[in-house]
Amino acid sequence: MRKILSGLLLLGAIPIVFGSGAVLSRRFGAPSLFSSIALGLLAQATVLTAGFVATPKESKTGLVRSIAFTFFLVQSIGGAILFVSFIYERLMHVVFIESRESAYGFTLSSSALVLVLFTASPWHLMKGRTIMK
């Protein structure tokens, strides 16, 4: 039952992630920074809940937790990309990212980085264990 629930939570996070980007890119009426950030944080909370619901055996990391950790890790890379783009914008005097998109990216990437650090130790992701033994 826990595996089904965690799988449904992971599947439910996919449209939330795409919806937060669609709200920010003006596909659903007027763009709203607050609602796109709220949807992105909701997606992260959904994936985090799926990781905590899926409790694997003691010696395993678990597939759902590995997917959730990878999700957080990929989202946290956006902060480094934003940092490099800010430096490039300053040096070359061009504009790549609007202020609304940079606020969205910085908020979600920083919260994803906190979740990477938060989940690595309790989910046994730093002890050299594999997904499936």
**How is residue 44 written in tokens?**
């992260």
Residue type, 112: A
How far apart are alpha carbons 105 and 111 in whole angstroms? 10
CA angle 90, 94, 86 (to 5 degrees): 40
How far apart are alpha carbons 11 and 119 in whole angstroms? 20
Q: Where are the domains of the chain?
A: 2-120
Q: Which residues are CB-contacts of 112 (< 8 A; sequence separation ≥ 6)? A: 44, 72, 73, 75, 76, 78
Side-chain-facing half-sphere of 47: CA atoms under 13 Å: 26
pTM, two decimal places: 0.82
Q: How far is CA 82 from CA 10, 19, 43, 124, in A?
A: 26, 21, 21, 30
- Look-up of token digits 């994803």: 112
The answer to whether residues 76 and 46 touch, using CB atoms and an 8 Å cutoff, is no
| Ordered per-residue pLDDT tens for the chain, 133 residues | 888 899 899 999 999 988 888 887 777 767 788 888 999 999 999 999 998 898 877 767 788 888 999 999 999 998 899 999 899 988 988 887 888 888 888 999 999 999 998 888 777 665 555 544 4
